[in-house]
Amino acid sequence: MKYRTLGNTGLQVSEIGLGTWQIGGAATIGGKLIGWSGMDDAISREILKTAFDLGINFFDTSDVYGRGHSEELIGGFLSDLGPARRQELILSSKVGNRELETGEWIKDFSPQWIRTGIEGSLKRLKTEVIDVYHLHSPKTDFEYSREIVDTLESIRKQGKIRFYGVSLTGPGKGEPSVQQGMEILSSDRRCDFFQLVYNILQREVEAKLLPECEQHNLGVIARVPLESGFLSGKYTEDTRFPDDDVRSQSYPPEKIKERVDKVGRLTFLTRSGERTLAQAALQFCLAQSVVSTVIAGARRPEQVVANAQTSELPPLTKDELAEILSAV
Report which residue type is found at 53: D
Domain boundaries, the chain: 11-327
Angle at 20 between CA 261 and CA 266, to 5 degrees: 20
- How far are the Cα atoms of 213, 306, 326 from residue 219, in angstroms, in the given order? 7, 25, 28
**CATH number at 11-327:** 3.20.20.100
CA torsion, ordered 179, 193, 209, 248, to nearest 10 deg: -70
Report how far residue 77's alpha carbon sits from residue 49's, in angstroms, rounded to the nearest whole number: 8
SS3 state at 170: coil
Other C-beta atoms lying within 10 Å of the C-beta of residue 312: 10
Threshold 0.85, pTM exceeds = yes
Output the tens digit of pLDDT for each of the chain's 328 residues: 999 999 999 999 999 999 999 999 999 999 889 998 889 999 999 999 999 999 999 999 999 999 999 999 999 999 999 999 999 999 999 999 999 999 999 999 999 999 999 999 999 999 999 999 999 999 888 999 999 999 999 999 999 999 999 999 876 544 568 999 999 999 989 999 999 999 999 999 999 999 999 999 999 999 999 999 999 999 999 999 988 888 988 899 999 999 999 999 999 999 888 999 999 999 999 999 999 999 999 999 999 999 999 999 999 999 999 999 999 9
Q: H-type helices in 26-171, by residue range?
A: 41-53, 69-81, 83-86, 111-125, 146-157
Q: What are phi and psi of 64, to 5 degrees?
A: -95, -15
Q: DSSP letters of 91-117?
A: EEEEE-EEE-TTS-EEE---HHHHHHH
Q: What are phi and psi of 240, to 5 degrees?
A: -135, 140
SS3 state at 57: coil
- Digit-coded pLDDT (tens) for 151-180: 999 999 999 999 999 999 876 544 568 999
Other C-beta atoms lying within 10 Å of the C-beta of residue 80: 12
- Find out whether 161 and 122 touch, Cβ atoms under 8 Å: no
Other C-beta atoms lying within 10 Å of the C-beta of residue 10: 9
Report which residue type is found at 139: K
Report how far residue 42's alpha carbon sits from residue 60's, in angstroms, rounded to the nearest whole number: 19
- Digit-coded pLDDT (tens) for 280-311: 999 999 999 999 999 999 999 999 999 999 99
